[in-house]
Amino acid sequence: MTDLSLEEQSLPSRPGVVRDDDELHRSDLLEQFYLTLGVTYLAAPRLEPSVVHERLDRLFRDDHSWRNAYEIEQLLCFVISEEQLETELERRLAEAKALKLEHVDVIGKELDATTSSSAKRVVLHRLLNDLQWFYAKRVQHRSASKRLMLRVSSLFMVALVALFLVLFIQFFAQGTPTALLNPQSPPPAPGPAASQSEPVAPGTGR
């Protein structure tokens, strides 16, 4: 086994992250997540290169995304030290119990029954996969609920505008005089009162 040089052990350069103005808070969380993953990776022993290390280096060099971050988190299970493994198992197991994930009791029993480091790494990988799946589903459910509320609000506003428009048309049609609605209609014929007040022509003797 050969030790790697300091240049090879250093974390690969991180490219700029394209941020969406509508999701700046998520970008900040993603950057913090990458920072934690990078520190964990640097603290892990790396006595000889492996396929996992090559994949991790490539993922750190790629554009930052939640998908890449989740893959990095899972791959770190197989390169971290024994101390990091025990700490991560305790923390993640407590997190899974707090979230009441399925099969968390089974995972706890498997950890109690095994002392093998390789077996613990497999259990940690499975636990991380369950946690990531839980958070991904929660984000999708929130996005779907937000879209549904937006559509319902839009439909309500359209229905409300249509209702006010119908009421306005009915009120306008009922309140407008008939003469204004039919300007070409002839004037009303004079009644008896009009004939009685008719002026008398001179010389008629009436």
- Write the pLDDT tens digit of every residue in 121-139: 999 999 999 999 998 888 7
Q: Is residue 190 part of a domain?
A: no
Q: Is residue 62 part of a domain?
A: yes
Confidence of residue 111 (pLDDT cuts 50, 70, 90): confident
* 88 shares a domain with 73: no
Tokens describing residue 206: 């009436």
The widest CA-to-CA distance across the chain, in whole angstroms, is 144
Is the model more confident about 69 or about 8? 69
* 70 shares a domain with 15: yes
Q: Containing domain of residue 158, as a range? A: 82-168
Query: What is the SS3 string spanning 94-112?
Result: HHHHHHCCCCHHHHHHHHH
Q: Is residue 18 part of a domain?
A: yes
Other beta carbons within 10 Å of 193: 7
Using a pLDDT cut of 70, give the percent of the chain over it: 72
Of the listed ranges 4-8, 182-186, 201-205, the one predicted with least confidence: 4-8
Among the three residues 80, 101, 127, which one is the final residue of a domain in this structure?
Answer: 80
Give how many domains the chain has, as a whole number: 2
Q: Is residue 38 part of a domain?
A: yes
Among the three residues 57, 80, 103, which one is the final residue of a domain in this structure?
Answer: 80
* 92 shares a domain with 76: no
pTM: 0.59
Q: Is residue 199 part of a domain?
A: no
Q: Is residue 33 part of a domain?
A: yes
* 157 shares a domain with 124: yes
Other beta carbons within 10 Å of 39: 11
Whether residue 80 is predicted with pLDDT greater than 80 in this model: the reply is yes
Whether residue 112 is predicted with pLDDT greater than 90 in this model: the reply is no
First and final CA of the chain: distance in angstroms? 141
User: Which pLDDT belongs to residue 62?
Assistant: 94
Other beta carbons within 10 Å of 2: 7
* 122 shares a domain with 72: no
User: Which pLDDT belongs to residue 201?
Assistant: 54
Query: 1-59, pLDDT tens digit by residue?
Result: 333 333 333 344 444 444 445 466 678 889 999 999 999 999 998 878 889 999 999 99
* 138 shares a domain with 96: yes
* 162 shares a domain with 131: yes
Among the three residues 40, 55, 80, which one is the final residue of a domain in this structure?
Answer: 80
**Maximum average pLDDT range among 39-43, 108-112, 144-148:** 39-43
* 20 shares a domain with 87: no
Whether residue 192 is predicted with pLDDT greater than 80 in this model: the reply is no
DSSP H/E element including 13: none
